[in-house]
Structure 1
């Protein structure tokens, strides 16, 4: 896989579960899109972007973040783990260049305060295995997965 030599721009998103009363947890306030999971029985997610006009990288990161967050929920249910209410997924997608060629790379940052690090890491890695966006990028772009529990 070709490594990016120069990052041209980064699309960043943060997805959090909505509070139980249906109100959103605001982060950046620039672009807020409420997402829901298929079937309607899952919590809504908030896609919060940091720029007034989202880039393609930001939109991709937002869609991936929502899908990955849903995958975390599926895995948590299978593992009988209660996700923390302040669980957050931040995804950063870089558009970069090596020579004359353009590439993408990404960082998935999972914040699961209160969970044991080994449990949160197992959830994060298993979700990365089943998430359709993660599957689509696997082997095509560099992806780093980071887990924070503090």
Structure 2
């Protein structure tokens, strides 16, 4: 089966929702974004590289922050199951935005994890397993390019 744009429909996984985040944007990429509980309230502006002022944060930075935090959490879940020590580890997400061949815009992500207390093979295995657990990875899989690296 095909969608309106010629792509294939993917099956939608049903989840038992435990929490719902709510945020509202005003004036799109050149305005403000705030959560309904007031814990997040930021000015957003396009980066200078895209012709904006760069005065505030931007959606790509917010996505990178969320993805890196979520991936770090997934890494912790996997490490606990495997008995691996990931203390002192960090996860960095680089989110790129650019034009697609079709004329729209798209994203790509590079995830890099530093896990100092395990050997390289174990670190690579943990990162690959975390990529299968992380909700952000599951949401982006098959939709955008995501690369994994162990620093």
TM-score bracket for this pair, using the shorter chain length? 0.5 to 0.7
Distance apart, 1:55 and its partner CA: 0.7
Structure with the higher fraction of residues in strand conformation? 1
Please give the secondary structure, in 2, of the residue aligned with 1:89. strand
Instruction: Give the superposed CA RMSD.
Output: 1.4
Aligned to 2:63: 60
Q: Give the unaligned 5+ runs of structure 1.
A: 1-50
* Residue 72 to residue 52, structure 1, CA distance change in 2 (3 Å): farther
Within the alignment, does 1:98 sit opposite 2:72 as a pair?
no
Which residue in the other structure is 2:91 paired with? 89
Equivalenced residue count is: 97
Deviations 1:58-100 (A, max 9, x none): 1011111111110000000000011132x11110011110342
Give the whole-Å Cα distance in 2 for the aligned partners of 1:128 and 1:142.
Answer: 13
Structure 1 length-normalised TM:
0.61
1:75 is aligned to 2:78: yes
Q: TM-score under structure 2 normalisation?
A: 0.61
Whether 1:113 and 2:116 are equivalent positions in the alignment is yes
- The structure showing larger relative contact order (alpha-carbon pairs under 8 Å, at least 6 residues apart) is 1
Where has structure 1 moved over 6 Å in runs of 4 or more? none
User: Unpaired segments of 5 or more residues in structure 2?
Assistant: 1-53
Cα deviation code 1:24-72 (max 9, x no counterpart)? xxxxxxxxxxxxxxxxxxxxxxxxxxx7621101101111111111000
